[in-house]
């Protein structure tokens, strides 16, 4: 019996309308897998941490990350810039300073924190 090499399987990544790339069939982003990979996590560790990910898909994403390092770096930089802009806008609109005090004040007089 000999092994027949079949056509290559597609990379399990899907670009959504919002510009975010996710592992097909999951809500796990390419950013998440790339960051874990950069921290030295193994495919098994990532699959265990994100049970919706198939181990084979994590390995396929690793291969994509290694083959397309420059493209992925640009994508990750764009995502980081977008995240920073969203965070900045949220902080501008909803001042994070004094949130605890304002929430306690809503409870009324004599409210204590636990």
**CATH node for 13-107:** 1.10.10.10
Tell me: pLDDT of 44 over 70: yes
Predicted local confidence at residue 94, as pLDDT: 80
Tell me: pLDDT of 26 over 70: yes
Q: In b/e form, how buried is each residue of 22-47, taking b as 16+ CB within 10 angstroms?
A: bbeebebbbbbbbebbeeebebeebb
Predicted local confidence at residue 109, as pLDDT: 73
Entry pTM: 0.76
- The answer to whether 25 and 15 are in contact (CB under 8 A) is no
User: What is the mean pLDDT of the segment spanning 10-21?
Assistant: 95
């Amino acid at each position: 019996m000999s092994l027949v090499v079949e056509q290559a399987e597609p990379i399990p990544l899907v670009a959504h309308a919002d510009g975010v790339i996710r592992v097909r069939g999951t809500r796990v982003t390419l950013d998440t897998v790339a960051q874990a990979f950069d921290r030295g996590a193994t495919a098994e560790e990532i699959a265990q941490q994100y049970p919706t990910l198939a181990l084979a898909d994590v390995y396929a994403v690793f291969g994509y990350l290694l083959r397309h390092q420059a493209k992925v770096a640009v994508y990750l930089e764009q995502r980081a810039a977008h995240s920073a802009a969203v965070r900045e806008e949220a902080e501008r609109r909803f001042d994070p300073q004094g949130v605890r005090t304002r929430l306690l004040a809503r409870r009324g007089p004599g409210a204590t924190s636990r």
